Structure 1
Amino acid sequence: MADDATATKPLIERNVARAVVLDEHERVLLLQVGEYGNPEFGTAWELPGGGIEAGETHTHALMRELREETGIVVTAEQIQAPTWRRDVIYDYRGSRRLQHEAISTVRLHGPAPEIQSLLRDAFEQSDLFDARWWTQQEILASREWFYPHSLPALLARFLSGETISEGLEVWDKAAWRANS
């Protein structure tokens, strides 16, 4: 049951495109994020992506989001159809967010490019702290927080071509810490 503070927050529901971006060495790009105004949240490493704007396709949203968040330019041909679907609810900047996420694989040609931040919006400039290319083994061995929280458990299955449909994830690091 939601507490009173959560119950009074406006709910924003949106469709989101995310990507497992792989370089030529099969390393995964993850972005370290947090909420600048909420230091209790800490940070997590998330898959790049974001909201699908009106009239935009999943593919075009990913192309735009990758360019804005990282400076990486990809073509539609590099983006595979989404085969990982999930819903997540979390608090962010004074609102409650319900996201319907579709995750695709994006394969880059060549080595991992340098990540650029020139096109990030104001929230991304303050809430996106770092970017790093991870091996699957590093993700599995890490004690860091990941978004999706299930990334270490599901990444290999997703990359092997399995279609994944997750239930609702309630993003609550405090609850996960208490149950760890």
Structure 2
Amino acid sequence: MRRPGDAASRDVAGDVASHPRPPDAAPGATPPLRRVARVVLLDPDDRILLIHGHEPADAADAWWFTPGGGLEGSETREQAALRELREETGITEVTLGPLLWRRACSFSFAGRRWAQDEWYYLARTTQTATVAEELTELELSSVDGTRWWTCAELEATSETVYPTRLAPLLRRLLREGPPPVPEILTTEIA
């Protein structure tokens, strides 16, 4: 089953151990809303960095997603975005820009149901080499690597990418710049 998002890979995988479903929660119960920060990371050529992930038990159930993950402790969304980016990609030379988009999503991953409130921040970097620095055991079993994508490549791909409208969102961002206020994206449920 495809999941819209929060990437059903790293960011969820990274928080499975720290945010398990409460033991008294009924199977199928609505999970608590997870606060997530994501990064729309662009290089000097306006390529976007995406992470490739898959369901741990089924590598064929795969998708691409933006770096990011759940907030830890009292950190802000901005702090979480930069931390997650460092952990997932090793990229630290980043200029974090404005909040672009917000999205709610719900999906199944690794035998659990996730509900997330995702905030997407624009960031720029000249550092294009990536190396995952702090992946959990689950992430190691569900993340395959990273790739820099042009907008044209995103528009042409038949692979699953989250959020599902990332190609037109990126095209508009490159053409018009960041929106004056964060755009609320369509809720995705899988």
Fold shared by both chains (TM-score > 0.5): yes
Q: How does 1:27-38 map to 2 (within 5 A)?
A: 27-38=47-58
**Cα offsets for 1:103-150 (capped at 9, x unmatched):** 011100x352x2112311112111111210011111111111101111
- Check 1:25–1:14 CA distance in 2 against 1; reply closer, same or farther (3 A cut): same
- Check 1:127–1:24 CA distance in 2 against 1; reply closer, same or farther (3 A cut): same
Report sequence identity in percent: 34
Q: Distance in 2 between matches of 1:142 and 1:92?
A: 23
Which amino acid counterpart does residue 67 of structure 1 have in structure 2? R
Q: How does 1:13-28 map to 2 (within 5 A)?
A: 13-28=33-48
Match of 1:150 in 2: 165
RMSD of equivalent CA atoms = 1.8
Q: Distance in 1 between matches of 2:109 and 2:33?
A: 12
1:29–1:132 CA contact under 8 A, matched in 2: yes
Q: How does 1:84-103 map to 2 (within 5 A)?
A: 84-103=101-120
Match of 1:115 in 2: 130
Please list every run of 5 or more consecutive structure 2 residues that lacks an aligned counterpart in the other structure: 1-25
Q: Distance in 1 between matches of 2:28 and 2:87?
A: 28
1:89–1:96 CA contact under 8 A, matched in 2: yes
2:98–2:178 CA contact under 8 A, matched in 1: no
Q: Any idea what SS the aligned residue of 1:81 has?
A: strand
Please list every run of 5 or more consecutive structure 1 residues that lacks an aligned counterpart in the other structure: 1-6, 172-180
1:22–1:29 CA contact under 8 A, matched in 2: yes
- Check 1:107–1:99 CA distance in 2 against 1; reply closer, same or farther (3 A cut): same
Asked whether 1:44 is paired with 2:66, we answer no
Match 1:59 to one of 78, 93, 111: 78
Which amino acid counterpart does residue 137 of structure 2 have in structure 1? A
Q: Distance in 2 between matches of 1:134 and 1:167?
A: 23
The CA deviation at 1:32 is 0.5
Larger helix fraction of residues: 1
2:91–2:127 CA contact under 8 A, matched in 1: no
Q: Distance in 2 between matches of 1:87 and 1:67?
A: 24
Match 2:27 to one of 1, 5, 8: 8
Judge which range, 155-164 or 20-29, deviates more: 155-164
Q: Distance in 2 between matches of 1:59 and 1:111?
A: 19
Q: TM-score, normalised by structure 2?
A: 0.78
1:53–1:61 CA contact under 8 A, matched in 2: yes
Q: Any idea what SS the aligned residue of 2:170 has?
A: helix
